Structure 1
Amino acid sequence: MAEFAGLSVLWIILAVVALIAVVAVIVWAVRCAIVRRRAEASHAKEGLLNKEALCAICKGLLAGDEKCRRLRVCGHIYHAECVDPWLRRKTICPLCRAKVEVSRTDIVDAMV
């Protein structure tokens, strides 16, 4: 009987160690996701674009020498020549459909 008692204690210890390892991996993954999301948000706020950023209206690359606009409500960036006519017709973001107030304070020029 003593043999089985030692074996069950060993299984309990292994199960607890495995549970701790699983929780540690989950916490690490969540923490990495949070850090990544914060970094993306700060890049969007600063107007930094990666080399693959596209205008959602014309699907053209957003180059540094073109005039672009960032919608303050959602942070999406478009070519000024693409988004201006869009916002004259509709007051929503073309990408996420967020409600946009069409005024100079809500549409910010982003030189990106």
Structure 2
Amino acid sequence: MLPPRDSNDFHIALKQEREKKGLTNTELAEAIGINTVMIGRYEHTCHENYYSVPSQETWRKLNDYLSTGTRVNLKYSNSIEDLSVEDLIKELKNRGAKSINIEW
């Protein structure tokens, strides 16, 4: 999991996680649906030109993708029926659910 988006070591952790997955800046940006230059900006330190901090939503997408390799976002789903049980559980946990109980 990435550190908070405004922490001093966010840029280092993001780059390490991206490289650990073997992703380029462009591949990661396209996977989460942001402009391709933004990953590089997030990886700069606050003392460099073009430094930027991701929004909370972008930080969540980065975390989701780097931890699972898939994008999970109910906002873009037409229906809850389009999601697998696993994706639904991930989304609920991302939104703060501590426990999920499914009964048939």
Q: TM-score, normalised by structure 1?
A: 0.27
- TM-score (normalised: structure 2): 0.28
Structure number, greater radius of gyration = 1
The structure whose RCO (Cα within 8 Å, separation 6+) is larger is: 1
